Homo-oligomer: A and B are copies of this chain.
């Protein structure tokens, strides 16, 4: 395991630390005892063909992720994708899981409600991962602007009005160290028809002017 401390002063004073660091670094490439990975092959059937989207929210404490992953492992399910954050005093997570059996979805939801009392938990069965609009190219979008109510709405309106389809998005607000105001930051991926690029660019330029924003679109692929 690679372990580095950007502010290592404290660690350096602990004489037990350095041997441990050296040992961990050398072990990082050791896989002789590792399990053989499951091969990816179109020929073999998907061992976990059933999928669900789970959302979990509740008062934060240490160990919630582990409570969730324990339940997933109990049903031999697999976590395909997840996003988690502490929001205020709450833990919040969305997870995409794959399962062997369709009835595992309800059983997993029941176990989560049992293990996380007081939490808001939803589980929806859904499909396997889809091709991401292969007929439309995918773009990254990044936005920075002084934070103010309406900026996220203005950006999403500019996209949605012209058929821009948001595939992934994260936003946060940070206090800009020297500016004296909070900064809104958005990063995401969006697909759109080539015929709508001019319209979306024009609409986003209007958002820049109105909100003092800086917006970048960057084409990822011709998918």
Contacts and interface: CB of A to CB of B under 8 A. Distances in A.
B212 A148 contact: no
A222 B10 contact: yes
Nearest to A171: B82
Interface in A167-223: 167-173, 175, 179-182, 188, 194, 197-198, 201-202, 204-205, 208-222
Contacts of A40: 175, 180-182
Nearest to A32: B209
Interface size of A as a range? 35 or more
Total copies of the chain: 2
A128 to B, nearest CB: 6
A103 interface: no
A116 interface: no
A64 B164 CA distance: 11
A222 B24 CA distance: 22
Contacts of A170: 82-84
Residue in A58, A153, A168 with the greatest tally of chain B CB atoms within 10 Å: A153
Interface string A31-62: 10111011110000000000101011110001
A152 B79 contact: yes
Q: Which of A3, A33, A95, A170 has the most C-beta atoms of chain B within 10 angstroms of its own C-beta? A: A3
Interface string A84-113: 111111101111100000000000000000
13 contacts: A2-B215, A7-B219, A20-B202, A23-B205, A30-B209, A33-B209, A37-B147, A37-B182, A65-B166, A83-B169, A83-B170, A89-B127, A92-B94
List of 4 A-B pairs having minimum Cβ-Cβ separation, nearest first: A34-B212, A37-B146, A87-B96, A69-B153
